[in-house]
Amino acid sequence: MPDLTELRALARAHVQLQDIVAETVDLSPQRSNLRGCCPFHPDTAAGLYVGANGHFHCFSCGSEGDVVDWTMRLYMIDEAGAIERLLPPAFGGGEGQPA
pLDDT at 1 over 80: no
Task: Give the confidence band of 92 by pLDDT, cuts at 50, 70, 90.
Answer: low
Quick one: DSSP state of residue 59? T
Distance separating the N- and C-terminal Cα atoms of the chain: 22
Residue 51's beta-bridge partner residues?
33
pLDDT digits (tens, 9 = 90+) for 40-60: 999 999 999 999 999 999 999
- Confidence at residue 82, expressed as pLDDT on a 0 to 100 scale: 95
What's the average model confidence in pLDDT over 49-73? Answer: 96
pLDDT digits (tens, 9 = 90+) for 2-43: 789 999 999 999 999 999 999 999 999 998 999 999 999 999
Rounded to two decimals, the pTM is: 0.86
Segment (H or E) for 75? helix 67-75
What's the average model confidence in pLDDT over 61-82? Answer: 96
Residue 54 to residue 14: CA distance in whole angstroms: 11
